[in-house]
Structure formats: structure tokens, C-alpha cells
Amino acid sequence: MTLIKSISGIRGTIGGAPSENLTPLDVVKFTTAYARLIKDKNSGKRITIVVGRDARLSGSMVESLVEGTLLGSGADVINVGLCTTPGTEMAVITHKADGGIIITASHNPREWNALKLLNERGEFLDDAEGRMVLAMAEDNDYNYPTIDDIGKVILREDFNKRHIEQVLALPLVDVEAVRKRKFKVVVDAVNSVGGIVIPALLRELGCEVVELNCEPTGEFAHNPEPLPENLTQISEVIRREGADLGIVVDPDVDRLAFVMENGEMFVEEYTLVAVADYVLRHTKGNTVSNLSSSRALSDITARYEGCSYAAAAVGEVNVVKKMKDTKAVIGGEGNGGVIYPELHYGRDALVGVALFLTYFAGLDMTMSELRKTYPSYYASKNKIELTPEIDVDKILSEIKSRYSGEKVNDIDGVKIDFEHNWVHLRKSNTEPIIRIYTEARSMDEADSLAKRFISEIEQIYKA
């Protein structure tokens, strides 16, 4: 039973008491606050908001509430129905709308849902705007418009087909080259909207598609986070079918992971690495990922003359900001999130698939052979549970000063880059924990680096 209010939206479990869960009352409150923000930004003029949702079980219920509240708040609505997160973002851009709401709890289990809030560029609200929505949601001093000013639904359309067309029209996507290869691809879309769009995209690219969990029923066939432990089924099917590769997406299709022809994971961290490798071959420029992502992206970027890598704080908004600041040509997050600004500034699994398959079509090698062309890193993800009275900031600043002779980045927690490995320590905003991410040249090395920092942190707060 949870309700998490943050600057990037509101997320919670369905049912139970208002303010403690994502109940209809909470949906209405937040949607009203969002409509107020967008109206204020447009000095009260008539606004248009795009609404899309993933296939989770509560999606249609929440969609009705969001749509009704927007209309009652005086906003016109373009409802794209069952749509991915990147598709809804593209619908905002394409229709020149004033904003958008995506109804999805991303990789969270079936009882969760959330509202992700977009600006007029189809990007997530920034920190300041997110805070304004939070404040407005607590403010009941608001009059809804009267009968002459309520909104109307100006369009209901399926945007997925247009999104696919936009992806295929990208100059670096070579549809004919991919078609010639007639790839056999197994898709696991965990029974959400990816089950519609990914097979459709692959068929446009001339692939033979084997569908696994591609019915958008919202009954997730396994834990929806695309991590190896949740993906045993697709490995078996790839081997049995003799497929060239497997594709896994999360319920709102902004995360993408590949599985190799031998059934092993290409590893989520390497989705962005491979796509960036292809993009940099054709477009010299900079790359960006977040501090917790693999060093492999920085290594690959260094292979291209005049190209440089920069790290952003964790969170898509931060990555996008850094990409704009550094004029990056490709970026994203190690969790399988590919952001290709040529189309839009949002993590987009469809873009990732189309760029990757174009690259792969031009290579005469298998997925596992391709994987060997990249530096091999192993990540270990740990956390320390603390008690609320422990001053986490003090611990982090102590670590920072102890390692001041090393390469330290403190834009988001403390990241220390050693010669052959790194550690990233971050505090959680919602729980008394420190997350400890490490990456090294072997799993043993990554684990022992994590252990070393866990005991160092324990020494500091027990001292």
C-alpha cells in the first residue's frame, strides 16, 4: 500500500485509503493540478493535452478519470489510448499539444499505476514544474471552469502506427538492409503494449517474429523488469527456434534489452552501448548516460575521434538536460533506455530496435560475436539499510574527502572512478538506505569492491 509523490509524477498501488494509495481521488487531484500548471504556463488560453496508457489492468479506469478531469478543468484532450511512453511523447510533438499524461507504472508490478507528466515538447516536467504540480495538488482553493469552458475530446486515435513510421523514416534506419536479412526475432513484451508495437515494427523490417507474452492483457507473465532473473522463458524459446536474437521491453516500452542467439543476455547495459557504436560511426558527436551506467559507453565513445562522453545525474530529465548542454548525438541510461535526439528527447525502445537492427544487418556476425567486440564489465548492485537518525549526507561527504585524490563526481551522491572499476553511492529520497553500485572487469571484483565500501560506510557511522 503505497503512494509516492515526486517531481516526476505520482505513483502508487490501486485501492485502499486516499492519500495512502493511488485512488480515484488522488488521480483527480493530481490531474487537476497538472491542468492548472499547463494553463498557467499558457496564460489561461485553451490547452490541449495528449493522454496515453500502457496495458496494465487499472489503465482504462485511470484513463477515464484523467480524461474526465482534464475536460472538467477546461483542457481539450487527444486520447491515443493504448500507447507506449515514447509513442505518447511523439504524439505531443506531432500534434503540437501543450502537454501529455502517460498512465503507466513502467516496470512496477500489476497492482501499481502512475501518472507521468509531459511538457509541450513531449519531455518530462522539470524539477521546478514538478514541484508546482505537487504544491497545487495540496491546494483546494481552485474553481473549475463553468459549462461554457469545459474541454472536449478533439481526437481519439491509435498513434502507434505513426510512431513506427516516424522511427522507420529516420535517416540512420535502413529498412531495406534489415529486410534483406530476414532476421528471426523472439519478442517478450510481458503482455503490455509492447506486444502490439514491437512485433508490428519488426514485421515492417521484414523479420520473422515469434511472439511471447505479446497479448496486451495487463496480466504480466513475469516480473516486468527486464532483468536476467525474469527472462528465463525467452532464452529457451530463442534456442529452440534457432532465432537470431530476442527482444525484451518493459510495460511502457522505454526500456529495451536484447537476448543473444545462444539464449544468454546481451545485458541491458549494452543496449545503449551497441546503438551508440552504430550512431557514432555515422554521426560524430558526444554521448551521455547517467553516473550508474556502464563505463563501456565512455570506452566506445573514445574509439571515435573528436567524440566525448559526459555523465549526468540519475533520472531521464537529468540525462536529457546534459544531452542538450553537450549537444550529444546519442545518450540514455544503462537500464536499456536509448535516447536519440534526431527523433525526440525520450527513452524509446522502438528507436533502439530500428537503429540496432540496421547496425546488426550490416555486420557479418552473431549477437554473441558482436558482444565480444565490447569491453566486458560486470555490475554489482547493493544497498545498506540504515536507521533514520543516521546522517547519510555526512557519511557521503566523509567518503568524498577520504577519496579526494581519486576521480570523484558529486553531482548525484558520490561516484569514484578508479582505473579499472568504479563505485557509485547514492542516498534514496524515500527510504533510509544508501545504494551502492559498482562495476569492474569481473563479477568477483565488482562484488568485493562493493563489500569494501559497505564495511567502510559501517565503520564511519558506527564510529
Least gap, CB of 15 to Mg ion (angstroms)? 22
* 74 versus 337: smaller Cβ distance to Mg ion: 337
* 252 versus 268: smaller Cβ distance to Mg ion: 252
DSSP-derived 3-state class of residue 383: strand
* 188 versus 250: smaller Cβ distance to Mg ion: 250
Residue 254 binding Mg ion, by CB under 5 A: yes
How many residues sit close enough to Mg ion to count as binding (CB under 5 A)? Answer: 4
Q: Shortest CA distance to 383 belongs to which of 297, 290, 451?
A: 451
Decide: residue 161, CB within 10 A, 0-12 exposed, 13-18 middle, 19+ buried: middle
Q: Which stretches does DSSP call E strand in 119-225?
A: 153-156, 184-188, 208-212
List Cβ neighbours of 51 (8 Å cut-off, separation of 6 or more): 63, 66, 67, 70, 77, 78, 79, 80, 88, 100, 101, 103
Instruction: Round to whole Å and give the CA distance between 406 and 417.
Output: 7
Least gap, CB of 338 to Mg ion (angstroms)? 12
Of 8, 106, 292, 294, the catalytic one is: 106
* 172 versus 196: smaller Cβ distance to Mg ion: 196
Residue 250 binding Mg ion, by CB under 5 A: yes
Sketch the per residue contact string, 26 through 45, with Mg ion: x for CB under 5 A, - otherwise: --------------------
- Interface region with Mg ion, contact rule CB under 5 A, candidates 104-112, 213-221, 232-240, 428-436: 104-112
Least gap, CB of 335 to Mg ion (angstroms)? 9
Tell me if 255 sits within 8 A of 347, measured CB to CB. Answer: yes
* 191 versus 301: smaller Cβ distance to Mg ion: 191
Residue that the C-alpha cell 533510509 belongs to: 432
Give CA separation, 429 vs 116, 145, 412, in Å: 18, 36, 12
- Interface region with Mg ion, contact rule CB under 5 A, candidates 68-76, 139-147, 237-245, 251-259: 251-259
- Interface region with Mg ion, contact rule CB under 5 A, candidates 37-45, 116-124, 189-197, 249-257: 249-257
* 257 versus 357: smaller Cβ distance to Mg ion: 257
Give CA separation, 271 vs 137, 255, 347, 366, 410, in Å: 38, 9, 12, 15, 26
- Interface region with Mg ion, contact rule CB under 5 A, candidates 103-111, 170-178, 313-321, 424-432: 103-111
Instruction: Round to whole Å and give the CA distance between 266 and 359.
Output: 15
298 flagged as catalytic: no
Least gap, CB of 7 to Mg ion (angstroms)? 17
Residue 252 binding Mg ion, by CB under 5 A: yes
Least gap, CB of 131 to Mg ion (angstroms)? 23
- Interface region with Mg ion, contact rule CB under 5 A, candidates 28-36, 115-123, 252-260, 426-434: 252-260
Residue 268 binding Mg ion, by CB under 5 A: no
Residue that the C-alpha cell 552501448 belongs to: 273
Residue 106 binding Mg ion, by CB under 5 A: yes
Instruction: Round to whole Å and give the CA distance between 457 and 243.
Output: 46
Handedness of CA 22, 110, 430, 426 (dihedral sign): negative
Tell me if 22 sits within 8 A of 12, measured CB to CB. Answer: yes
**Residues of the shown chain interacting with Mg ion in the complex, contacts defined by CB under 5 A:** 106, 250, 252, 254
Active site residues: 106
